[in-house]
Structure 1
Amino acid sequence: MGAENSKRKDLKNISDEEYKKFMENWKKATNGKDKMTREQFVPTFPIFGEGSAQCYYRMVNDEPSGLLPSKSLLRIIDGGLGHFDTLANSLILCFGKEKDVLMRSVVKIFCEANKFTREDQVRLYDYFESENTKPIEELDHFFSTCPLFPYTASFIYQRLVERPGDSKMPTLNEKSQLMGNVDQLVLNSHLPFDRRKNWTLLYSNAKHGHSFSQLVKNINGQGPCFIVMRSMRGRRFGFFASHGFLAGPQYRGSAECFLFQLAPKIGTFSATGRTDNYVYLNYQQQQMPNGLGIGGYDNVWPFFIHETFDGGLSQKNSSAFEPCYLADEEHFQIKNIEAWRPGEKPQKTFEEMMVEAERDPERSIIDKDPEARAVMEMAGKTMHSDAYREKKPMLDEK
């Protein structure tokens, strides 16, 4: 017992139960011995896949016996479950100092363990390669700028101690026509932690009809939301609305909003903090833009969908976000569009917020913003105040 405790005391990130299970498997594979051969290692730790032998030889490089002691592998795993600096060291011990080889190995192991396709592997590697401009000596700094990579890497070490590996994939209530595995994985990694588990489809033009009014009905007051679309040219792109949508000529959201491109390549573009012009949803006003967009004003937007729902704007280098050109054309046409809510619906519904505002004349949104009332009535909600103008039909309802 004392010897076991002595081996265990240096492990900070492996639980007693994980250690016990690991050693049971180890002794079963080695017939009770403390050192493991390559022939024993490969079938015992299948997570490494085709690269098992190469990993084994790297890990025993400094071992005089040429065999792998249990304590050496446990220390590597413990480091892989630790902070960025120890994770980086564990990765180098397993996969070597060539950045390309290390990144490809991590991606391959992660994708195969999660049953991703070969195309998924290529797309995920391309994303990491575009994000990682640092040399291998600064691998831990890359982790800070691209948190998804250390998440996928630590997944390997979780599996080595049979800890339920968190793949970081969200659970969707319906299949997306616009987002594959890697798209969902990358977008999910940029969300607040409390919004990463379940995604709910709010709107799809393939399911609900190609209608701006239907889009507004389904997203208004529903909480944080992704807008994802495919243009007629095949580009896939969109944005995350951190506070969701409330119809009216005002901007909503925070610096948690971001733009993204999914095809032809994956990229995310963070808010710069230079403006508060984030999410915008408005219609039927003569002096304000009518449509849905983010990060713009008047006729200058990185992403904007017209109220007519026939197309939109995509312009370069908005001051609100990092430089990007999502559609690769200034005026795009919509082929497919989806809206997804990550996480749970807010406790207060849009209707409840409107009723509360209606009861307080000092801060009534209904009085200040007739468009908000129009959206409520369009959704079939009955309001009890007379202080509103007669609703005009929306363009796609004429």
Structure 2
Amino acid sequence: MGVTYSVGEVDHLYTFFSEWSPTMSSKDTGKCYQSHYLVQEKHPNRYLASGKDVTGMNKHLRNPVSCKGADWKIVKFGDTKRRTSLCSSVESEAEEAEYHEEDDNGLPVLSDHSQLLDDLHLERLVAQMPARTHGYPWHLVYSTAIHGSSLKTLYRNMAGLDSPVLLVIKDMQKKVFGAFSSDPFKVSKYCYGTGETFLFSFSPDFKAYRWSGKNSYFVSGNSESLQIGGGGSGFALWLDAELYHGASFSCATFQNAPLSTQEDFVVLDLEVWTVHD
């Protein structure tokens, strides 16, 4: 990110940074060490991050913007998990309170009501998911309660999707389990996915099974079934074309225990969520 300033503006900026954080700049050496600041526009909820760690800061801002526009104001960026309110209006204060409540809670915002996930599930799953997914809302892509039981429909709902997905299953014994996939589910001749993919189960204690490094049989799918994990006695998770019958075995990919109460199970409910902005 680059910004052009006039000589007068540079002098004002230097004076400001020197007075604000004198330990971060040195007039004698001409060096200016990295610090974290925000540049605020007149609009109370729009910010421009300035500094080397722009990406790290912008992900915590609701409306990061480009350098275009006039009348910017610089404020110190102290805590990337906290946004300082610079507007005294009642509306902005209410929005700040809501923002802090969501941030303190640490749970993702769901676009739709989930039949399977409660706050405890969300808390455990978010802690296992890669950092690149944090801070983004979860969107419901597929649900047996809404779309019926069809693997074909599941694939169709994910056509053109380019973001990670979370598969959540409840079997007839009311056990909840599933998998996080780095790639959306699709029909493919070959296995796909990365080491971000993992399995999980609540029984009721939460257990996560991450990639073992033994093989790369993360996800594969065809018109007849969806498979996750492989090597050994069977798939870590297998679902049929009707998303009604399933199976779960220990496998080399994740070195997991069977996820369901029984190795062969019947699906009661199934949801697939995707994580993106």
Q: TM-score, normalization: structure 2? A: 0.60
Which residue number corresponds to residue 381 of structure 1? none
Question: Matches of 1:219 and 1:299 in 2, distance apart?
Answer: 29
In the alignment of these two chains, the number of paired residues is: 184
Are 1:281 and 2:221 matched, yes or no? yes
Q: 2:141 aligns with which of 199, 202, 215?
A: 202
Which residue number corresponds to residue 339 of structure 1? 272
- For structure 2, the 5+ residue unaligned runs are 1-22, 24-35, 37-81, 83-96
SS in 2 for 1:240: strand
Are 1:311 and 2:245 matched, yes or no? yes
* Identity between Structure 1 and Structure 2 (%): 27
Are 1:201 and 1:339, in contact at CA under 8 Å, matched by a contact in 2? yes
Question: Matches of 1:309 and 1:191 in 2, distance apart?
Answer: 25
Q: 2:199 aligns with which of 250, 259, 262?
A: 259
Question: Matches of 1:279 and 1:252 in 2, distance apart?
Answer: 5
SS in 2 for 1:332: strand
Which residue number corresponds to residue 302 of structure 1? 236
Deviation string 1:270-318 (CA, Å, 9 cap, x unpaired) is 11011110011212xxxxxx311211269711111012433111113x1
Deviation string 1:70-123 (CA, Å, 9 cap, x unpaired) is xxxxxxxxxxxxxxxxxxxxxxxxxxxxxxxxxxxxxxxxxxxxxxxxxxxxxx
Deviation string 1:120-168 (CA, Å, 9 cap, x unpaired) is xxxxxxxxxxxxxxxxxxxxxxxxxxxxxxxxxxxxxx8xxx9945432
Are 1:220 and 1:247, in contact at CA under 8 Å, matched by a contact in 2? no
Amino acid at match of 2:235: W
Deviation string 1:239-275 (CA, Å, 9 cap, x unpaired) is 0110222312211111100000124221111110111
Which residue number corresponds to residue 211 of structure 1? 150
Which residue number corresponds to residue 87 of structure 2? none
Amino acid at match of 1:321: F
Are 2:236 and 2:256, in contact at CA under 8 Å, matched by a contact in 1? no
Question: Matches of 1:339 and 1:243 in 2, distance apart?
Answer: 12
Which residue number corresponds to residue 260 of structure 2? 327
Are 1:192 and 2:166 matched, yes or no? no
Are 2:140 and 2:272, in contact at CA under 8 Å, matched by a contact in 1? yes
Change (3 A) 1:204 1:259: same
Q: 2:106 aligns with which of 140, 146, 168?
A: 168
Q: CA RMSD of the aligned region, Å? A: 2.9
Question: Matches of 2:242 and 2:147 in 1, distance apart?
Answer: 16
Change (3 A) 1:299 1:319: closer
Question: Matches of 1:313 and 1:280 in 2, distance apart?
Answer: 15
Change (3 A) 1:298 1:214: farther
Question: Matches of 1:282 and 1:254 in 2, distance apart?
Answer: 19
Are 1:249 and 2:189 matched, yes or no? yes
Residues 1-398 of structure 1: matches in 2 within 5 Å? Answer: 164=100, 165-196=103-134, 197-223=136-162, 224-283=164-223, 290-296=224-230, 300-316=234-250, 318-344=251-277
- For structure 1, the 5+ residue unaligned runs are 1-8, 10-14, 16-157, 284-289, 345-398
Q: Which has the larger radius of gyration?
A: 1
Structure ranking higher in strand proportion: 2
Question: Matches of 1:336 and 1:276 in 2, distance apart?
Answer: 28
Structure ranking higher in helix proportion: 1
